[in-house]
Amino acid sequence: MAKSVYQEIYQDLKKRIEAGDIAYGAFLPSENELTTSYSCSRSSVRRALAQLAADGYVQSQQGKGVRVIRDPSLDVSHGYDGLETFKEMAARLGFTASTRCLALNRVTADEDLARLTGFPVGTKLVRALRSRRANDQVVSTDESYIPESIASGLTPELVESGIYKYLEGELGLGIATSRRIITVEAATQADRDNIDLDGFNAVAVMRSHTFDTEGLMLEYTETHQRPEFFSNYTTVTRTQRP
C-alpha cells in the first residue's frame, strides 16, 4: 500500500529526529519551508506535524514554531516503540528476529471471547499463536484474533513471515492505531512452556485492539513478553481540570 504524502513527510522527520539530525530542543523548519522542501501542500505538512505531536516527537509553541521534545538518548532499548512489528523492532535494535507459528485455527466468538477481544458474539475469527525469538532466545508470544472475513487466507507460512506484511502488503489494508493495556502478571504454565523465562516468574502483558484507517477494529493481540526485554515509550497530555 503506497504511503500518502503526509506519511512520507512524517517518516522522514521522525527518522531525522531519532538520528539527532534535528536536535532535541531545536525548532523544526517553518511550515512554509517544509512545504517548499517537500514540494507539497500546507495541509500535508500540518497533518505530518500533528502525527509527530501525537507520537511525542514535537510540541507546538505558539508564536515560536514547532519544537523537538523527543530526546533520542532516552529512547527504548528493548521493546516496541509505537505500532511496529517484531521484525521492525529487531531492525531498529539490531538483533536477529524469527517467528514460529505455534497454532492457527478458526474460532467463533462466544461471550467470554467477545468480552476479551471486542469483537461481537458470533464473529468468526482466525486465531494465530506464535513465539518470537531474539537471537537465540524466545522472548515473547503473540496470540492474535482477526476476523475470518479479513484473514481467511492466512497460512502458517504467512504468519511466520509477518501478519502485518500480509494485511498491508497482500491485502492492501491500512493499519492506523492501536489501543493498548499493559500489565505485569504472574507467568502461566503456557508462558513457562513457550518463553525462555530464565528464572523470571512474571511477564509483561500487552493487550492491543488495533484499528484500520477507517476506524474499524481488525485485530486483537495479547503479547506476553519476558520482563527485561520489555519497555514502553509513551507520551501523555494533561487536560485542563476544573
pLDDT at 77: 57
Query: Considering 54, 74, 94, which residue would you say is the last residue of a domain?
Result: 74
Q: Which residues contact 201 (CB under 8 A, 6 or more apart)?
A: 186, 187
Alpha-carbon span 116 to 113, nearest angstrom: 5
60-109 confidence digits (pLDDT tens)? 988 899 999 988 776 655 667 667 878 888 888 788 889 999 999 999 99
pLDDT of residue 200: 93
Regarding whether 107 and 58 lie in a shared domain, the answer is no
Q: Mapping DSSP to helix (H, G, I), strand (E, B) and coil, where does residue 189 land?
A: helix
- Number of folded domains that form the chain: 2
Q: In this structure, is residue 147 part of a structural domain?
A: yes
Residues 125 and 216 in one domain: yes
Q: Residue ranges of the chain with pLDDT lower than 50?
A: 1-2
Residue 23 domain-assigned (yes or no): yes
Are 73 and 42 in contact, with CB atoms under 8 Å apart?
no
Q: Are residues 152 and 60 in the same domain?
A: no
Domain final position from 74, 95, 119:
74
Is 241 part of any domain? Answer: no
Host domain of residue 53: 5-74
- Based on the fold, state whether residues 40 and 107 are members of the same structural domain: no
Same domain, 103 and 223: yes
Is 190 found in the same domain as 153?
yes
Tallying the residues shown for the chain, one arrives at 242
240 found inside a domain:
no
- Can you give the CATH number for the domain in which 43 is found? 1.10.10.10
The backbone torsions φ and ψ at residue 206, rounded to the nearest 5 degrees and listed phi first, read -120, 115
Looking at residue 166, its pLDDT comes to 94
CATH of the domain at 160: 3.40.1410.10
Strand partners, 185: 203
Instruction: Tell me the pLDDT of the chain averaged across its residues.
Output: 90
Residue 239 belongs to a domain = no
Domain identity same for 124 and 35: no
pTM: 0.74
Q: In sequence order, which residues have a C-beta less than 8 Å from that of residue 167 and are 6 or more positions away? A: 146, 150, 151, 173, 175, 218, 219
Do 114 and 190 fall within a single domain? yes
DSSP assignment of 197-213: -TT--EEEEEEEEEEET
Is 130 within the bounds of a domain? yes
Same domain, 62 and 102: no
pLDDT given for residue 228 in this prediction: 81
Final residue in a domain of this structure, among 74, 95, 122: 74
Same domain, 129 and 25: no
Q: Please check whether residues 57 and 134 belong to one and the same domain.
A: no
Residue 10 domain-assigned (yes or no): yes
- Quick one: 108 and 189 in the same domain? yes
C-alpha span between 184 and 225 (Å, rounded): 10
Note whether residue 120 is domain-resident. yes
The sign of the CA dihedral 200, 201, 204, 208 is positive
